[in-house]
Amino acid sequence: MGSETVTFVLHGEPLDELGRLDPDRDWREFVTGERAWILQTYLRLRADGAAVRLADELPADGIAVFSSKQRRTLVRGKRRATQAVLVGVRQDVGEALVADLEVVQNQTQADAKRRFHIPHWPQPGMLGRDAARGSRIETIAYKGFLGNLHPAFREAAWLDFLREHGIRWLVDAAPYTDDFGDAATLAWNDFREVDLVLAVRAPDAKLHPRKPATKLYNAWLAGVPALLGPEVAYRELRRSALDYLEVADVGAAQAAILKLLSSPSLHADMVSNGHVRAAEFQATALVRRWHEFLFSVVPSLATRADVSRWRGRSLRRKELSRRGLRALGVWK
Q: Is residue 135 part of a domain?
A: yes
Residues 6+ away with beta carbon under 8 Å from 130? 192, 193
Per-residue model confidence (pLDDT) at position 2: 44
Residue 59: CB partners within 8 Å, gap ≥ 6? Answer: 3, 5, 7, 9, 79, 82, 84
Q: What is the pLDDT of residue 122?
A: 98
Residue 182 resides in a domain: yes
Residue 46's pLDDT is 98
In-domain check, residue 20? yes
pLDDT of residue 310: 75
Contact 119, 286 (CB under 8 A): yes
On whether both 265 and 292 belong to a single domain, the answer is no
Indicate whether 21 belongs to any domain.
yes
**Domain limits for position 53:** 6-122+283-327
Q: Are residues 84 and 186 in the same domain?
A: no
At residue 325, the pLDDT reads 59
Classify residue 296 by its DSSP letter: I
Residues near 69 by Cβ (< 8 Å), separated by ≥ 6? 33, 34, 91, 93
Give the number of domains in the chain: 2
The residue type found at 312 is: G
Tell me what pLDDT residue 300 has.
Answer: 93
Looking at the domain assignment, is residue 313 inside a domain? yes
What pLDDT is attached to residue 326? 67
Q: What is the DSSP letter of 314?
A: B
pTM of the model: 0.92
**List of the chain residues with pLDDT < 70:** 1-3, 77-80, 177-182, 324-332
Residue 22 belongs to some domain of the structure: yes
Amino acid letter for position 56: D
